Amino acid sequence: MSTLKIYRASAGSGKTYTLTREFINLLFAHDEDYRHTLAVTFTNKATAEMKGRIIKSLYELWTTNLHSDWMAELAQKAGSEEAVRRKAEKILHLLLHDFSRFSISTIDSFFQKIIRAFIQELGLFSGYKTELNNTKILQLAVDRLVMKLGQPDKQELRQWLINFSYERMEGGKSWNIADEIMQLGRQVNAETFQGFHASFIQKLNDKLFLESYKNELKRVVDTFNDTMVTYGQSMMSMMKAHGVTWDDFIKKSNTPFKVIENLALHKNFDKLPNLKAYLNAPDTWYLKTNKQAESKILPLYHAGLNNQLSEVIEFYDKHLPAYNTANVILQNFNALAILNDIANEMDMICKEEGIFLLSNSNRLLNRIIDENDSPFIYEKSGTRYKHFMIDEFQDTSTLQWSNFRPLIGNSLAADDYSLLVGDVKQSIYRWRNSDWKLLAGQVKTDFEHQGYFEKNLDTNWRSRETIIAFNNRVFEKASNVLQADFNADLVHADAALSQKWGDRIVEAYHDVKQKVAAKNIHSGGQVHIRFIEGNTKAEYQEMAVKLAIQKVDDIISQGYSFKDICFLVRKTDEARLVTNALLSGQYSSRPYPVVSNEALVLGSSAAVMMVVNQLCHILSHENQVYKAYIDLYSSVLTSDESDGVEADLLHTVIDTKNILQLKGLPLIDLVQRLVQQLPPNRHVSEGVFLQAFTDIVIEYVQNEMADLAGFIEWWEAEGKMRSVSVPEDQDAIRVMTIHKSKGLEFETVIMPFLNWELEDSKHKAILWCEDPFSKLDYIPVRFDKKLLDTYFANNYLDEHLHNYVDNLNLLYVAFTRACAGLFCFCPLPGEKFKTIGDLLFLSLSDPMVRRDFEIIADVQSQQQLGNDDSFLVGDLPPCALHSPSHQAQTPEFSTWPLPMMHTWPYADRVAIFKESEGFMDQSSRLQINKGKQMHRLFELIKTHEDIERAVNQLVLEGWITTDDVDHMQSYVRQLIAAPEVALWFKAGLVVLNERSLLSARGTFRPDRVVLDDKVLKIIDYKFGDVHAKEHERQVANYVNLAARMKYEKVEGYLWYVSENKVVKVTPSHPTLF
């Protein structure tokens, strides 16, 4: 039995390098193990990079004039470098000629492959379409559910939703429940909900049971409220009977005893515990100098007010958690009751439309496996894997891991190889169900019996020394700052909770310190953090963008190229803000070239929006809003036209009557006609947007229906946020979100907006908690600090911890992209600790942290530490990627005018295929079908011994019936008995049926190729009666192409099967392909 390898790979520590080395070592041990090794990553880009790295490394090992880092290690095992080269050559050829079995893929692609092998068992259609957009299906399900409320079988649901609306109105909210249903409805596609047992899901269908439980929860709330009011009214009566007013108490009208009035009036009574300090101490109830108050309050105290206060506080402390818990459950209870109805409706839509939601793949595969340790289900997909490598393991979800765990367990039991690579600090995809706790500890628990080998890759090969030193110290301090703030919520928690959560954040960052690679010692580097004052968010952003672009000028002056600079932001709207500022030259002497897929969205193009509003006008021509938008965009589009623009061109753009005449055209042609009518300069300046828009229209028509109304709805929901794909290998400044930057590196990183919240105050997560009242298995509650005073305190702390770690991880991923320079702009901290900028400020304000950086600055002979609103350490080194003569120069960039986007009329692009079955009579169709049938039959036959098996296969595939078997076998035997034909079907030949010949001009596919004693024979079957010269030219082309493949002798034959006539083809001259 082997042990599991776990590599903890911090940023820049050579993760891909390590994976490549491990993969190549496997191949050198068994050169065909690429067929039995599965490596999974989480993006297509990472998949391509890893495949390319392995191929490149093998090529370096094979080629004598290239250096390989692994030659010495492999040569020691193989005996010599020459042996390594021979082995590398063999492996490389095997891989390239069997590339489809080179199994490096994304985890979603792998699971999809398995699911396709089980489509029958899962009840899926063989041609199902994978859908990534859950929200679209969810919205459709909710709409359909509402439309069905009038049906007799939906009476319970209808009444429930009516009561739901009434309760919202009684609570002062809108009667419209759609938003609340949609918010909770998103949980249907969450892994947590999908992992629930069927018995719990079934309970959600029982509306009578749910109504009964809801009433019990209301009784808990009402009983608590009534008791508090009763106590309050009783104490107020006692005060009145003794003539005591608020002025008689300490602090008079601001007295803490005034909470008694709140009890009586059923107002906020959360300050009741403050009266604990006054129990059994009447002399603290009034000022000792106020003898009149003393004469009133002491009798009141002895009359029982103290006793009642003691009782109500005891009742409050004992029953408050249950009261708060019931209130929290009731907030989402009405929406919870229809979750299963929504799930069923979504399933029905998917079945009707032949859709498979990608978010369901983990659940379905988990259902197939059902904790079965046997990997037979994976073998059914046609592949038997022995070795497993999982990259970015911190981004694996719980369900994904439960699907992989049996495979890895089986691999280790068979003494094969399995490897996990990841880094808790780079887990930033929790919204995709990733769970860093798997890597943090769960995986070691799962394989404690088999054993595991754990190694920390602790050397940073990417960044310069100052960057590494800064990140080491700051993230060590930041994790402690966050832990201290988190622990403040544990003050009133019990010992068990304090022990469980008291050091989780610090533990997640225990391995944050990295060593500097030998090549980067004394390499310099610069970090500059500025804290900006701004009265509003807009003021702060404007100042931050201005300073950030000025920093670009400084970087360029040090010899760096535009592509060496990357702006990292949290949100796409921030990316657009930065991109527009860079392109406009607003804060610099000139515009800068920019590459940003996040910012170049189609909805930002005036030309595209003009076409969209024209489409909307065609769909609803009576709507004057669309006409107004057309006029608006017309003025924008024609504002910079030259004076020589013809009047009829402008009239074409603006005239909406002309547009309506296009109404009957197909959607694709309609769009292209509208694009045609735009001013010519827009075809150039916005041609890339128009082309991308045309492409997504074609994509929509292919995947959906060619329906204008449906397209407009899709455009508003998601299409307008589609981005223009921009090539990455350009000398331009990159602008991207932090999530997109993961795995990348840049010489310099600029972060203009370090102001995101540590916990999102607007969009609070739904937590699934065990039901403390034991009626349902789980209850959805909304994340809020108030949960600390409920039975859900543990769930709150878990989510609170994850929020803190998620945002600290985002900062870590962003900061570790930088190689030479890191430049950040944060708002000055406010009174409350709430943003990532506040965290950075507190971390850098620590005297010990600043002392450490003073030492670094002193060692490098730099005095660079700033004042309270700025932190600067190190110098930005001149760019080593450029020559000294170039370093002091500002790089120039050129622009090329885009060619005009051309479109063609519909009639010129569509031709009728007259050879289709619709243009044939019955006899012609029968003849064609007969030819297809015979082609398939001879594809299955290599020798005369294959005839019976091939005919039976035709029966299985539905080409013929069992009644035709004897006749077909007899007919084929008669055909191949002819002397010349029999030579092609004798035993001992190398036969290739329906194999492709590749050439520079395309792919060609002869029916049969036979290699007989160094003679290559190419045979093409014809099942019709017509002998055409085109047939001979076709085979002659095959012969010429094969002759160029260095075969000594090539012969070509036409076999007219119905006549059983063979025609030898002799090419008169070579034909170019």
Query: At CB < 8 A and 24+ separation, what contacts does 766-770 make?
Result: 766/183, 766/184, 766/187, 766/332, 767/792, 767/795, 767/796, 767/798, 767/799, 768/187, 768/192, 768/193, 769/795
Q: Which token pair is 465?
A: 């020394």
Residue type, 877: P
First to last CA, the chain: 56
Q: Look up residue 968 and give its two tokens.
A: 């077909």
Q: Is 11 annotated as a binding residue?
A: yes
Looking at residue 434, the DSSP 8-state letter turns out to be B
CA atoms lying within 13 Å on the CB side of residue 424 = 22
Pairing of β 452-457 and β 594-595:
unpaired
8 Å CB contact between 748 and 823:
yes
56 Cβ contact list (under 8 Å, min separation 6): none
Spatial CB neighbours of 151, under 8 Å, sequence gap ≥ 6:
none
Please report the DSSP string for 634-674 in residue order.
HHHHHTT--TT--HHHHHHHH-HHHHHTTTTS-HHHHHHHH
- Both tokens assigned to 668: 């694709």
Closest to 652 measured CA to CA, from 632, 669, 670, 676: 676
Element (H, E) at 781: strand 778-782
**Across the strands, what pairs with 746?**
818
The secondary structure of 145-170, three-state, reads HHHHHHCHHHHHHHHHHHHHHHHHHH
How many other β-carbons are positioned within 10 Å of the β-carbon of residue 1003?
Answer: 9
Which DSSP letter does residue 762 get? S
Q: Express the helix, strand and coil content of the chain in percent, nearest 5 each.
A: 55, 10, 30
CB crowding 55-80: b at 16 or more within 10 Å, else e: bebbebbbeeeeebebbeebbeebee
DSSP per residue over 1000-1027, as a string?
TTEEE--SEEEEETTEEEEEEEE-SS--
The pairs formed by 937-943 with CB atoms below 8 angstroms and a separation of 24 or more are 937/968, 937/972, 938/993, 938/1007, 938/1008, 938/1021, 939/993, 939/994, 939/1007, 940/993, 941/972, 941/985, 941/993, 942/985, 942/989, 942/991, 942/993, 943/985, 943/986, 943/987, 943/989, 943/991
Looking only at Cα atoms, what is the longest distance across the chain? 134
12 is in an annotated binding site: yes
Residue 165's CB is within 10 A of a number of other CB atoms, namely 15
SS3 902: coil
* 196, two tokens: 């629930």
Measured CA to CA, the distance from residue 739 to residue 746 in angstroms comes to 15
The reply to whether 398 sits in an annotated binding site is no
Which DSSP helix (H) or strand (E) runs through 387? strand 387-390
Q: Is 9 part of any known ligand binding site? A: yes
User: What is the spatial distance between Cα 763 and Cα 136, in angstroms, rounded to a whole number?
Assistant: 20
- Which residues have a Cβ under 8 Å from the Cβ of 398 and sit 6 or more positions away? 191, 195, 433, 435, 438
Q: Is 18 exposed, middle or buried (0-12, 13-18, 19+ CB in 10 A)?
A: middle
CA 540 – CA 417 distance, rounded (Å): 53
Q: Is 266 left (phi over 0), alpha (psi -120 to 50) or beta?
A: left
The three-state (H, E, C) secondary structure of 554-618, written as one string:
HHHHCCCCHHHEEEEECCHHHHHHHHHHHHHCCCCCCCCCEECCCCCEHHHCHHHHHHHHHHHHH
Q: Which residues are annotated as a binding site?
A: 9-16
Q: Which residues are annotated as a binding site for ATP?
A: 9-16
